[in-house]
Structure 1
Amino acid sequence: MVATLLHEVPLQGGDVTDGVVRVGDTVRRPASTSTPAVHALLRHLEAAGFDGAPRVVGMDGLGREILTYLPGRTGLRLESVTDEALAGLAGLVRRFHDATTGFPLSGRGWDGGSNDDRAPEVIGHCDVTLENVVFREGGPATPYALIDFDLARPTTRLFDVVTTLRHWAPLADPVDRAPLLRTVDVGARLRLFCDAYGVEPRERRRLLELARLRFHRSYAVMRTRAATGGNWAKMWAGGAGERIRRATAWLDVHEDELHAHLV
Structure 2
Amino acid sequence: MNAVTYAEPPESHPEIPLAGGDVTEGVVRVGDTVRRTIGPNAPLVHALLRHLEAVGFAGAPRFLGVDAAGREVLSFVPGEVAGRPRPPWVADEGRLASVGRLVRAYHEAVAGFSVPDGVRPGLGLEEPPGVPPEPPYPAELVGHADYTPDNLVFRDGEAAALIDFDIARPVTRVDELYNAMLYWAPLCDPVDADPVLRGLDMPRRCRILADAYGMSEIDRSRLVEVAVMRTRRSWFLMRRNAEELGGGWARMWSEGVGDQIKRREAWLERRGAELDAALTAP
Structures share fold, TM-score greater than 0.5: yes
Q: 2:204 aligns with which of 188, 212, 215?
A: 188
**Structure 2: distance between partners of 1:32 and 1:105:** 17
Q: 2:175 aligns with which of 159, 184, 194?
A: 159
**Other structure's SS at 1:243 match:** helix
Q: 2:62 aligns with which of 55, 62, 83?
A: 55
**Structure 2: distance between partners of 1:119 and 1:154:** 9
Deviations 1:108-157 (A, max 9, x none): 23115895432211111111101000011xx4x11100000001001111
- 5+ long unaligned stretches in structure 1: none
Q: Is the 8 A contact 1:123 1:154 kept in 2?
A: yes
User: What corresponds to 1:127 in structure 2?
Assistant: 146
- Normalised to the residue count of structure 2, the TM-score between the two structures is 0.87
- What is the aligned residue count? 258
**Structure 1: distance between partners of 2:77 and 2:152:** 10
- 5+ long unaligned stretches in structure 2: 1-7, 128-132
Q: Is the 8 A contact 1:125 1:149 kept in 2?
A: yes
Q: Is the 8 A contact 1:105 1:120 kept in 2?
A: no
**Other structure's SS at 2:268 match:** helix
Amino-acid identity (%): 46
- Normalised to the residue count of structure 1, the TM-score between the two structures is 0.93
**Structure 2: distance between partners of 1:195 and 1:105:** 29
User: What corresponds to 1:24 in structure 2?
Assistant: 31
**Structure 2: distance between partners of 1:256 and 1:225:** 31
1:232 and 2:249 equivalent? yes
1:1-263 counterparts in 2 under 5 A? 6-75=13-82, 76-105=86-115, 107=117, 108-111=119-122, 116-136=135-155, 139=156, 141-228=157-244, 229-263=246-280
What is the letter of the counterpart of residue 165 of structure 1? Answer: M
Shift of residue 105, structure 1, vs aligned partner: 3.8
Deviations 1:69-121 (A, max 9, x none): 11111113222321111111101001101111121146423115895432211
What is the letter of the counterpart of residue 67 of structure 2? Answer: D
Shift of residue 223, structure 1, vs aligned partner: 0.7
**Structure 2: distance between partners of 1:89 and 1:246:** 25
**Other structure's SS at 1:31 match:** coil
